[in-house]
Amino acid sequence: MITQSSALSNTEDSRSGEMSKAGGRTLLRILWLALMAAGIVGLWQRFSYGHNAAGYGSYVPWGLWIALYFMGVAIGGGAFVFGALGYILGWEGFEKKADLRTAIILSVAAILPAFMVIWLDLGRMDRLLSVFTSATFTSMIAFNAWMYNSFLVVALICWLLSFKDESLWLRPLLCLGAFLSVLFPSQSGVFFEAVGTKQYWNSPLLSMMFLSSALAAGAGSLLLVRTLQTSAEASTGSPARESDKGIRTLRFITVAALLVYLAFEFAELSIAVWRPSAESRSVDFLIRGDYWWVFWVVQLLIGALVPLALYLLSTSRSAWGLASVLLIVGFVAARMGILVPGQVVGQIQGLQAAFQDSRLTYAYHPTQMEYLIGALMIAVGMAVFYIGRRLTAALAVNSEQKA
């Protein structure tokens, strides 16, 4: 009798789980369609009006897309490093090849749309390949472009090797990939530091801030993906214990890396506040300027304090997933907080008034087109991840059948 009612309850659970899984999928599809539709409008604006539909100009040449680009590569690097290290070191919840593949796909799905955005940001999109054919490695852009692409090749090979039963090369290549994925987020910070003539960017702490934020964002994104995966598995009644252990580890790493980032950021800003110099104009803009709320509300409150509270105080996996989304939003705001204040401070007094033009101002306001392309970036990332998962599933079945 008990067995019968338990079986009945299991069937009902499974049915309601199937329904919630289907509901979740529908929601994700609607979200993707909305993002893609918005992105296509942005793409149309970009190709119809060129850079004139954007908010950046000659005195503030880099805007939202550069921040999104650095966010994409940060997630890519962070996700890969934990997926690879977890697999190599055999951390609980990371030791399966399926977990490794998820991390690799997430990493690629974050980096490819970042490349798309940086391509759209170029004044001469037709000359993109020059970065590879005529590169000069005195430039961080060229160095980073080569590094990201080398990483993508390594990641692709690792993904393919993961379908083999035994491979001598898988873990050594994962070590190389992990090395690169630690290197390029920190080099993203050096990208700004290397612009030696901007006081605000001229701090070695930036590379550490970019690295810690990459680790937090990468671990957080992996946590989000695995939360969604676990809830899908749970809804179908599949065991999800190993994955759950992985989620707990990722939660710990995310919180630790976020706290390290905040400590670095405090160190960076407090120096500028206590020793006023040229860079304090940028700091002033950050904390009291037109976009003060981006720093205080979006980055610190919504992007750091709320996620910390959710990670530490809640036991719900959905809350942790939400915390990861907020964390990423916060880090985009943090990147804007590095990018924009560094550029809005001119060094030649009166230059803005000397020759008046909308593109010759020390101000930056992201435009609708820039936000829409941001939506496209997310949609493309989701699509790459989905395709990667489907390909993985197909190849995994194929390799199992062969075995």
Partner 1 sequence: MMKTEKKPMDRREFILAGGLVGAGVAVAAVSVVKDRTPGPPQDPTGEGTVRKLSVLQKVKEHPNEDDHVRMQRELVRAMAKPAEHRHWMMVIDIRKCIGCQSCTIGCVAENKLPPGVVYRPVTTQEFGTYPNLRIEFLPRPCMHCDAPPCVPVCPVRATWKRPDGIVVIDYDKCIGCRSCLNACPYGSRTSDFGRYYSDGAAEGAPTGADRALDGPRSPYEHQPSNEYSKNWKREGHESPVGNARKCHFCLHRLEVGQLPMCVTTCIGRATYFGDSNDPKSLVVELASKHNVQVLLEHWGTKPQCFYIV
To the nearest 10°, report the CA torsion of 137, 194, 144, 209. Answer: 160
Q: Which of 21, 245, 248, 359 binds partner 1 (CB under 8 A)?
A: 359
Question: Which residue from 339, 281, 289 is spatially nearest to 63, judged by alpha carbons?
Answer: 339
| Nearest CB to partner 1, comparing residues 6 and 238 | 238
**Residue 51, number of CB atoms within 10 A of its CB:** 15
Q: Which of 194, 228, 319, 322 binds partner 1 (CB under 8 A)?
A: 194
Q: Which of 3, 4, 349, 401 binds partner 1 (CB under 8 A)?
A: 349
Smallest distance from the beta carbon of 197 to partner 1, in angstroms?
4
Burial of 96 (0-12, 13-18, 19+ CB in 10 A): middle
Smallest distance from the beta carbon of 183 to partner 1, in angstroms?
9
| Nearest CB to partner 1, comparing residues 173 and 223 | 173
Contacts of partner 1 in 43-102 (CB under 8 A): 50-52, 57-59, 61-62, 88, 90, 95-97
Residues 6+ apart with CB under 8 A from 231: 24, 317, 318
Smallest distance from the beta carbon of 226 to partner 1, in angstroms?
15
Contact (Cβ atoms closer than 8 angstroms) between residue 62 and residue 343: yes
CA distance 284 to 343: 13
| Nearest CB to partner 1, comparing residues 124 and 402 | 124
| Nearest CB to partner 1, comparing residues 2 and 348 | 348
Smallest distance from the beta carbon of 237 to partner 1, in angstroms?
15
Half-sphere exposure in the Cβ direction for 310 (13 Å, CA): 21
Contacts of partner 1 in 206-265 (CB under 8 A): 239, 242
Q: Does 401 participate in binding partner 1 (rule CB under 8 A)? A: no
Phi (first) and psi of residue 202, to 5 degrees: -85, 60
CA distance 63 to 341: 11
Got the DSSP string for 58-80?
SSS---HHHHHHHHHHHHHHHHH
Contacts of partner 1 in 106-145 (CB under 8 A): 121-124, 127-128, 130-131, 134-143, 145
Contact (Cβ atoms closer than 8 angstroms) between residue 202 and residue 192: no
Smallest distance from the beta carbon of 54 to partner 1, in angstroms?
9
Write the single-letter amino acid at 255. Answer: V
Three-state SS for 377? helix
Burial of 90 (0-12, 13-18, 19+ CB in 10 A): exposed
Q: Count residues binding partner 1 (CB under 8 A).
A: 65
| Nearest CB to partner 1, comparing residues 342 and 388 | 342
| Nearest CB to partner 1, comparing residues 20 and 167 | 167
| Nearest CB to partner 1, comparing residues 1 and 353 | 353
Q: Which residues bind partner 1 (CB under 8 A)?
A: 50-52, 57-59, 61-62, 88, 90, 95-97, 121-124, 127-128, 130-131, 134-143, 145-147, 150, 168-169, 171-173, 175-176, 179-180, 194-198, 239, 242, 343, 346-351, 353-355, 357-360
